[in-house]
Amino acid sequence: MLRVLSLHPDSVVDGPGLRTVLFLAGCPHHCVGCHNPSSWDPTGGVEWTIEETVERIQAIGNRRLTLSGGEPMLQAAALVQLLERLGPDYDVILYTGYVLEEILRRQRWYPLILRLDGLIDGPFILSKLDRTTRFRGSTNQRIYDRQQLQKRVLHENKNSPV
C-alpha cells in the first residue's frame, strides 16, 4: 500500500520533460517555507494498492514519473514494488529531503535508489531559495543521475564493514 496525496498527470517543473508526479504523504523534515505542508501528515491522503497505483499511472500514458511528497523515502519498500510493476521503461526521479549521504547509511533504501534515473536530495532551505535553479527550490539541493547513484552505492558497499 501507498499513502498518496495526489497524482498529477502533467508537470514541467518536477524534472526534465513532461512528467507525471506522484505526491506521497508523510514528511519528517517540516522545512520552513515548504511548498506542500499538507504533505507532512503521514496519515494524510488516501491509501492506494500497488496495483491501483500502477493502473492510474499507466492510464496517463507518460513514461516520465516523479516521486515527491512529503518524503518518498518513508515509503521506500512500497515504491520498490511500484517500480518493479511499472517496469524499466519508466524514467523515474525522486525528490527527498534527506541528503544522499544519509540515504547511503540506510542500506534498506538501496533497492529504491538503484531503480531511480535521478534523485534530487536535501531539505528545502528558505534562506537558500533560488528560483533560477532548475528543478530545485534551494541551492543546497543536489541532482544525481543514475550513474552517479549507482557509483555511490557501489562505493558504500565496498567500504561497509562486513
Q: Please tell me the distance from the alpha carbon of residue 66 to that of residue 53, in angstroms, as a whole number.
A: 13
Provide the whole-model pTM: 0.91
Say what the pLDDT of residue 147 is.
96
**Contact at 8 Å (CB) between 90 and 53?**
no
Over the stretch 26-84, which tens digit does the pLDDT of each residue have?
998 888 787 788 888 889 999 999 999 999 999 999 999 999 999 999 999 999 999 99
* Beta pairing class for 64-68 and 46-48: unpaired
Alpha carbons 130 and 125: distance in angstroms, whole number: 10
Report how far residue 150's alpha carbon sits from residue 113's, in angstroms, rounded to the nearest whole number. Answer: 8
68-127 residue pLDDT tens: 999 999 999 999 999 999 999 999 999 999 999 999 999 999 999 999 999 999 998 889
CATH architecture of residue range(s) 2-156: Alpha-Beta Barrel (3.20)
